[in-house]
Amino acid sequence: MLELKNVSAGYGPLQILWGISLKVDTGEFVSLVGPNGVGKTTCLKTIAGMIKITEGEILFNGIDISNMYVPDITKQGLSFVTEGGCLFAGMTVHENLRLGAYILKDKKQIAELEGFVFSLFPRLAEREKQLAGTLSGGERKMLSIARGLMSAPKILLVDEPSLGLAPNLVDDVFDTLVTLNKEQGLTIFLVEQNVHTTLEITDRTYVIEQGRICLQGKSGDLLNNDHVKSCYLGLT
């Protein structure tokens, strides 16, 4: 479904990604983990079209989306939930969700999707008329994931959904992602700091260090990998 071939990208003269190659197949739950500042967010932004790539190509369902305009990539069926959420703070939860479905025309489908995300996050349903900017951190995370789902995407890119959440909410968010993947068959590409849980819930994982993929494989296998154990799981 999504394939990066030898992708390099960065901010102006500052190169961050050095020949990244990775693949996410339909229905898979894949994650990207690594230390702080190695380019995980940059990688997601590059896929979503927010950063120009300098080398390589990105294929999405066989279509070359490298350096395509962000809204056009969204229209292809890719949805990117950023770390901060990029919510419309001065607008209500309902308006945010409707805008999430901006690329859809079918009114009935949009209403159904809204019903679906409300069943996923009942707290949002209670706060339908509340301004996004006045939501709590956890509710904002829920809203950003919910908004990302409103475009009925083929793939969901999620950047650190657990950041800044209380432990029980972290579990909720992970449960939701697993449900979406297992029950709805949604393809998910997840970036996370919470390496242990991530390796437990995902199918495959890529480890990125200094802008390069240094390890990859089945998440279960990586749990027993020595490098992963010592650097990410704090085990020796």
Ligand X SMILES: Nc1ncnc2c1ncn2[C@@H]1O[C@H](COP(=O)(O)OP(=O)(O)OP(=O)(O)O)[C@@H](O)[C@H]1O
Q: What is the C-alpha to C-alpha distance for residues 25 and 23, in angstroms, rounded to an integer?
A: 6
| Amino acid, res. 218 | K
98 binds, among ligand X, Mg ion, another protein, none (CB under 5 to 8 A by kind): another protein
222 touches ligand X by CB under 6 A: no
CA-nearest of 201, 193, 157 to 49 is 157
Write out the binding residues for ligand X, residues 89-128 only, by CB under 6 A: none
Question: Which residues on adjacent β-strands are paired with residue 31?
Answer: 190, 205
CA 63, chain centre distance (Å): 20
14 touches ligand X by CB under 6 A: yes
The one among 38, 93, 146, 228 contacting ligand X by CB under 6 A? 38
The contact set with another protein (CB under 8 A) reads 48, 50, 69-71, 74-75, 79-80, 82, 85-91, 95, 98-100, 102-103, 147, 150-151
46 touches Mg ion by CB under 5 A: no
Q: Which token pair is 7?
A: 């992708």
- Is residue 88 classed as helix, strand or coil in its secondary structure? coil
Q: Number of residues interacting with Mg ion: please give it, by CB under 5 A.
A: 1
Task: Name which of 109 and 210 has its Cβ closer to another protein.
Answer: 109
The one among 31, 41, 162, 181 contacting Mg ion by CB under 5 A? 41
Q: Is the Cβ–Cβ distance between 132 and 140 less than 8 Å?
A: yes
Query: Does an H or E element contain 190, and which?
Result: strand 187-192
Chain residues binding ligand X by CB under 6 A are 11, 14, 16, 36-42, 193
